[in-house]
Amino acid sequence: MTKEKFLPNAFGPGKMYKSGDIGKWTFDGKVQCLGRIDNQIKLRGLRIELGEIERKMESISGVISSIVNKVEHDGKEVLCGYYVL
């Protein structure tokens, strides 16, 4: 996985890190973040892959599909999982 994430630098010597973030250059030279190419979120400083949690939920007998979202509850961001039996 390290070889997939650290690529040759297209702008000069060294390596670039492929983060999974999608962005674009704005007219004033700044980078605008547009989202992510994967289903990863940041919660309380931790990067969490929601698909891993969904797959674990679907490994439970009887669960046919699931989805996990980050939601706000009582003023805090929390994970909320939904499933179909």
d(CA 59, CA 63): 7
For residues 8-19, give the mean pLDDT: 90
Q: Output the CA–CA distances (angstroms, integers) from residue 30 to 19, 23, 24, 33, 62, in the order listed.
A: 18, 10, 8, 10, 48
Instruction: Kindly report whether the global pTM for this prediction surpasses the value 0.75.
Output: no
The pLDDT of residue 24 is 92
**73 CA to centre of own chain:** 20
The stretch 42-62 carries a mean pLDDT of 92
- pLDDT tens, residue by residue, 25-51: 999 999 998 887 877 888 988 888 898
Where residue 13 falls among pLDDT bands split at 50, 70, 90?
A: very high
CA separation, residue 77 to residues 9, 12, 26, 64, 69 (Å): 36, 39, 30, 26, 10
Strands 40-43 and 15-17, by their bridges, are unpaired
